[in-house]
């Protein structure tokens, strides 16, 4: 997606160690128009797979997932990292290692909003190692739901996430694929 | 906002102790169409105050704030509760007591995205005690920015937030005002 790539080149920062700072338009400050365009494009790519729900993880997945769900016309559920008091005691819970933070986080979804007949598209801001998305896949599977697609705004292909998800044999879409961030570079797949 | 009130009556749950569960359309599962309508209405009410940015707090403020910002055509910044590695060491930070969780959380914004010339509209899912919004006001003031409006999807007027914010002498808008949740009731202001 050309406008996204241009924005990453203009305003993204390669902080080293594979960390891409996009805090000015995706992760802390958010450009709603760009995010809506990203959501529109992801929804277009998943238009024919019969999705009934978008699933993501708080926090930074919410903006792209909300906009994708808006364009698909389906609800979004975001997995919580801490169980709020409004959630029932019986939940779907999985552990997910956070690559960038070096910790393991819980991902929690209420069974009220993820059911066995659902067809789920998982959307996140980044596809890097794929661990967060695999955690969301486990939650959907625990609910008996079917994961029918995976979408990310930015893919860092050198971190192997696509290979880690390949066994699912479902469409994996990303809007900007970065193949190399060594030596301060930001190189997109052609 | 009538469709919001109808949704709260149909799908909201009064859990007692002033806790309103709206996890099926605002706080865990989100209805993007409803949220877009809420954002459109908040944007309409703040159309003439010259806002340059929407400020909210992660997590549950993100969806309504993103949609409001989308309709206003300005960026949104969400205050983080934990400093990510992409954020500079020098930040705006304030402490905010969380009424429902009984803990104090940090609210952190990078000076990169909140500047002295900004005119800020603060948007959150709930206006209850007003403590989270007051924390966001302090962050904006620390940046030298001007808070020009405050908007919430749902106001629980019996928790006193509006009075706690009155000294700011700026417009405070909410889309559904609940005056009474005693004895399992959900009573809206007329």
**CA angle, residues B148, A36, B38, in degrees to nearest 5:** 50
Per residue in A116-170, pLDDT (tens digit) is 999 999 999 999 999 999 999 999 999 999 999 999 999 999 999 999 999 999 9
pLDDT of residue B100: 67
How many Cα atoms occupy the beta-carbon half-sphere of A67 within 13 Å? 31
With a CB cutoff of 8 Å and minimum separation 6, the contacts of A86 are: B13, B15, B19, B21, B23, B27, B28
Residues of chain A contacting residue B112, judged by C-beta atoms under 8 Å apart: 23-24, 29
Residues of chain A contacting residue B100, judged by C-beta atoms under 8 Å apart: 84-85
Mean pLDDT of A166-189: 98
Mean pLDDT of A31-53: 98
Question: Which residue in the block uniquely carries the two structure tokens 């986080």?
Answer: A105
Mean pLDDT of A157-186: 98
User: What is the spatial distance between Cα B151 and Cα B174, in angstroms, rounded to a whole number?
Assistant: 6
How many Cα atoms occupy the beta-carbon half-sphere of A15 within 13 Å? 12
Per residue in B1-53, pLDDT (tens digit) is 999 999 999 999 999 999 999 999 999 999 999 999 999 999 999 999 999 99
Q: CB neighbours (10 Å) of residue B185?
A: 10
> Out of A29, A87, A101, whose CB is closest to B77?
A29
Determine contact, residues A67/A36, Cβ cutoff 8 Å. Answer: yes
Q: Is B1 exposed, middle or buried (0-12, 13-18, 19+ CB in 10 A)?
A: middle
User: What is the spatial distance between Cα A118 and Cα A121, in angstroms, rounded to a whole number?
Assistant: 10
Q: CB neighbours (10 Å) of residue B34?
A: 20
Residues of chain B contacting residue A19, judged by C-beta atoms under 8 Å apart: 85-86
Q: Does B78 touch chain A (CB under 8 A)?
A: yes
Indicate the angle between helix axes A62-72 and B32-45, nearest 10 degrees: 110
CA distances from A142 to A97, A109, B28 (A): 18, 10, 18
Flag if B85 and A19 touch (Cβ within 8 Å). Answer: yes
Alpha-helix runs per DSSP H in chain B: 2-11, 32-45, 62-72, 131-142, 161-165
> Out of B28, B35, B62, whose CB is closest to A113?
B28
How many Cα atoms occupy the beta-carbon half-sphere of B79 within 13 Å? 28
Looking at chain B, the whole-number percentage of residues with pLDDT higher than 90 is 96
Residues of chain B contacting residue A36, judged by C-beta atoms under 8 Å apart: 70
Per residue in B57-111, pLDDT (tens digit) is 999 999 999 999 999 999 999 999 999 999 999 999 999 998 667 789 999 999 9
Per residue in A115-125, pLDDT (tens digit) is 999 999 999 99
Tell me which residue of A38, A6, A51, A52 sits closest to A126, measured CA to CA: A38
Q: Does A67 touch chain B (CB under 8 A)?
A: yes
State yes or no: pLDDT of A100 exceeds 70: no
Flag if B70 and A23 touch (Cβ within 8 Å). Answer: no
pLDDT of residue A190: 87
- The DSSP call for residue B171 is -
Per residue in A44-97, pLDDT (tens digit) is 999 999 999 999 999 999 999 999 999 999 999 999 999 999 999 999 999 999
State yes or no: pLDDT of B122 exceeds 90: yes
Q: What are phi and psi of B15, to 5 degrees?
A: -90, 5
Please give the full DSSP string across A42-96, using - where no structure is assigned: HHHHTTTS---EEEEETTTTHHHHHHHHHHHTS-EEEEBSS--TTS-SS-EEEEE
Mutate one of A66, A107, A140 to test the B interface: name it (highest B CB count within 10 A).
Answer: A66
Mean pLDDT of A13-42: 97
Rg over CA atoms, chain A: 16
Tell me which residue of B185, B49, B178 sits closest to B122, measured CA to CA: B49
Predicted model pTM: 0.97
């Amino acid at each position: 997606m050309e406008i996204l790539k241009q924005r990453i080149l203009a305003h993204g920062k390669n902080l080293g160690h594979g960390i891409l700072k996009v805090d000015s338009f995706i992760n802390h400050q958010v450009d709603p128009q760009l995010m809506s365009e990203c959501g529109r494009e992801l929804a277009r790519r998943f238009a024919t797979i019969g999705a009934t729900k978008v699933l993501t993880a708080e926090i930074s997945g919410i903006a792209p997932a909300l906009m994708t769900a808006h364009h698909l016309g389906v609800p979004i559920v975001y997995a919580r990292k801490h169980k709020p008091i409004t959630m029932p005691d019986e939940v779907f819970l999985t552990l997910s290692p956070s690559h960038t933070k070096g910790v393991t986080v819980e991902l929690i979804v209420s069974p009220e909003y993820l059911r066995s007949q659902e067809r789920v598209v998982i959307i996140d801001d980044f596809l890097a190692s794929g661990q967060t998305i695999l955690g969301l896949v486990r939650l959907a599977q625990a609910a008996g739901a079917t994961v029918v697609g995976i979408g990310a705004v930015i893919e860092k292909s050198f971190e192997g996430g696509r290979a880690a998800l390949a066994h699912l044999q479902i469409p994996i879409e990303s809007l900007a694929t970065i193949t190399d961030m060594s030596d301060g570079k930001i190189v997109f797949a052609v």
